[in-house]
Structure 1
Amino acid sequence: MSSLVFKLFLFASLFQISISARKLAQDEPNQFQSLKYHKGALLSGKISINLIWYGKFKPAQRAIISDFITSLSHSSSKTPNQPSVATWWKTTEKYYELAAGDKTPSPSLSLTLKSQILDETYSLGKSLTDRDIRKLASKGDQYDAVNVVLTSADVAVTGFGMSRCGTHGHARGNTGKRGSKFAYIWVGNSETQCPGQCAWPFHAPVYGPQNPPLVAPNNDVGLDGMVINLASLLAGTATNPFGNGYYQGPQNAPLEAASACPGVYGKGAYPGYAGNLLVDTTTGGSFNAYGANGRKFLLPALYDPTTSDCSTMV
């Protein structure tokens, strides 16, 4: 894609999904440049993904997210249909290869779904701050792990829908060796609070062209929107886990591996149009990646650091 197309996507990001901590309303059409490596550590080794479910989620909803995480490491033999979630994730390997330079082999990352913690009693209430999110994230293992906090549709989080759909960060660990830190992610279910900002293209956008929304591949606008945001934040966590990896722009509001390509899901995408996607002939759901247990997912384009382009699956 040309730089002009990138600029158009960034300009349109007011009404498209922006899942980093970056403010939706601050995107400028001329800010984009190639993501810069700031020489910090990338997430590497065998890393466990722990899910902390805060609020009410149906078992079927939890299965959508857990199947997505499992799909990241599924081999082609287990997921014969292509394009797959695992193939989408392999784009992140290029960041590791570039960071390693002449060193061989380059560091690698293996993600595995480990524990799931349910907090259905809203132990911290239904209105959460960033500090509350970190507290919830600390309930998961803090060694070789990424703890993912998922809040239900009836839980308000500071800035949710107004400036962000989720975020990732790191916090000081209270277990393990001194000075240790762990990475965490938060994603909210936007179905009733801000679907126009955080569940597009499965809901009409708040701003911009009002094209008919797409059918969610798992028949759940809120959860399929969460998958998009979680996928984007996982890519950002892997390539910029502690704020000194790959990003462009200010450190506290960076463009990262996925947020550098807002609103792009398939080839031919433009503001208000997600691109040419696959469509399930039975359900009518739009998707671009096959996953575990027969799942289908819509995943965001990832910035390819070797081509300075948004890499799409279809």
Structure 2
Amino acid sequence: MASFLALILFILSTYYFEPSLGVRKLTSLYEPQPMSLKYHHGPLLQGQLPVHILWYGKFSSSQKSIISDFFLSLDRPARKHDQIVGPSVSQWWQTVLTYMKNAGNKNGIHVVLSKQQVDEDCSLGKLLKRTQLAELAHRVNSKHSGLTLVLTADDVAVEGFCMSGCGSHGSDPKTRSTFIWVGNSVSLCPGQCAWPFHQPIYGPQSAPLVAPNADVGVDGMVVNIAKLLANTVTNPFGNGYYQGEAGAPLEAASACTGMYGKGAYPGYAGELLIDSSSGASYNANGVNGRKYLLPALFDPSTSKCWTIV
């Protein structure tokens, strides 16, 4: 009787458990497909790109120069004592331009700082709806040329700010104009929008990095401006380069969120350069001796996230 029961148990174990072992083996052999940002054959930004800026709220002259110098650095190699130094903002920008070349765009993009306007009194108030961002963009760029940047100060709240994003990019299909909005989060949600220069709200609570331009809010803004700039020029009207659903796409920089240097993982920005005089962390040199932290980009040539250091 005992031997009969043992035989029954052996048959049952073979029938029920052997397939599950096969499933485990198949699962262990499965490797996810490499990520790929598909080009959907829509128009991309190209040629001379004038950038108009609206400073909404109070920004100091120092804060304005940090952001302006970033744009000036896109097409100019960083220099020190007349020697080109790297890694640089312009090198990072060249990776963005790879998307243009792959789409057959031989003209590239030449960014030019254009009209700047200040609205220190916050004429639409300090609690903005998303729909008002396009209205503000129109104020400084009524001719709908190039790219408009709407920057909100640290005491201005925007609908969805912090909860659903640190900035956004959009377009008007009728005028074929594009705009970017980014807010200064230092007083509202630095743990969400100024990381890694501020401790995150969630996750590992490691010490924050020293901001390269000694301004946590504005250095955080540069990170988000760079991210959205890369996304905008490669997917300006929603039918350029992206992966996933068009309404919630992974784009050139958003596909590599939170990565800044080699070895990055959630909660760790990666191996970065350190300024010996200030202790600040950075990964790119800019004009006028500036240093910046720039986000990783999805490299279409390798189908992997690329960090400049």
**In structure 2, distance between residues paired with 1:169 and 1:107:** 23
Give the TM-score normalised by structure 1. 0.84
Q: Which amino acid aligns with 2:163?
A: M
Corresponding residue number in structure 2 for 1:152: 153
SS in 1 for 2:139: coil
SS in 1 for 2:116: strand
**In structure 2, distance between residues paired with 1:79 and 1:85:** 15
The alignment covers a number of residue pairs equal to 275
SS in 1 for 2:134: helix
Aligned-pair identity in percent equals 56
1:72 and 2:67 correspond: no
SS in 2 for 1:255: coil
SS in 2 for 1:260: helix
1:94 to 95, 98, 107: 98
**In structure 1, distance between residues paired with 2:182 and 2:308:** 23
Give the 5 Å matches for 1:9-28. Answer: none
Which is richer in helix? 2
Question: For 1:42-91, what per-residue CA distance to the aligned partner results, in whole angstroms no more than 9, with x for missing partners?
Answer: 10010101110000111111111001011111135677110010110000
**In structure 2, distance between residues paired with 1:217 and 1:52:** 24
> Taking structure 1 as reference, are residues 240 and 223 closer, same or farther at Cα in structure 2, changes over 3 Å only?
same
**In structure 2, distance between residues paired with 1:165 and 1:134:** 16
The answer to whether the 8 Å contact 1:32/1:260 transfers is: no
- The alignment yields a C-alpha RMSD, in angstroms, of 1.6
Q: Which structure's relative contact order is higher, taking Cα pairs within 8 Å and 6+ residues apart?
A: 1
Corresponding residue number in structure 1 for 2:118: 118
SS in 2 for 1:271: coil
Question: For 1:225-252, what per-residue CA distance to the aligned partner results, in whole angstroms no more than 9, with x for missing partners?
Answer: 0000000000001100011000112212
Cα drift, residue 306 of structure 1: 1.0
**In structure 1, distance between residues paired with 2:257 and 2:187:** 22
Give the 5 Å matches for 1:23-38. Answer: 33-38=35-40
Cα drift, residue 143 of structure 1: 4.2
Q: Which runs of 5+ in 2 are unaligned?
A: 1-31
2:41 to 26, 39, 42: 39
Corresponding residue number in structure 1 for 2:180: 185
The answer to whether the 8 Å contact 2:77/2:287 transfers is: no
Give the 5 Å matches for 1:253-272. Answer: 253-272=248-267
1:85 to 89, 103, 106: 89
Question: For 1:113-155, what per-residue CA distance to the aligned partner results, in whole angstroms no more than 9, with x for missing partners?
Answer: 1121100010100000111100001123344410000000100
The answer to whether the 8 Å contact 1:160/1:166 transfers is: yes
**In structure 2, distance between residues paired with 1:197 and 1:203:** 8
Corresponding residue number in structure 1 for 2:58: 56
